[in-house]
Amino acid sequence: MDAFANGAYETKLNHAVVDALDNHSAMADPALRHEKVFEGLANLLVEAVYRQLRGKKDSAETQQAR
């Protein structure tokens, strides 16, 4: 709130955006440089999507059983 009061919100926002970019770059760099890291991330994504789809299927079957 102080940043808005003294007009420094643009600086704070700029720092937050740069920090977010740095963090994303730090995570993306190993994934792009190392095949094992990329494969691990891909597996995590596939597992998460499968769990969501499985949950939707289970939910739909439960509703149909009612």
> Can you give the pTM of this predicted structure?
0.51
Q: CA 44, 50, 54 angle in degrees (round to 5)?
A: 145
Distance CA 52, CA 50 (A): 5
User: Quick one: pLDDT band at residue 15, thresholds 50, 70, 90?
Assistant: very high
Each residue of 22-40: pLDDT tens digit?
999 998 999 899 999 999 9
Phi, psi angle pair for 39, to nearest 5° = -65, -40
Distance CA 35, CA 38 (A): 5
Q: Which residue ranges make up each domain of the chain?
A: 1-33, 35-66
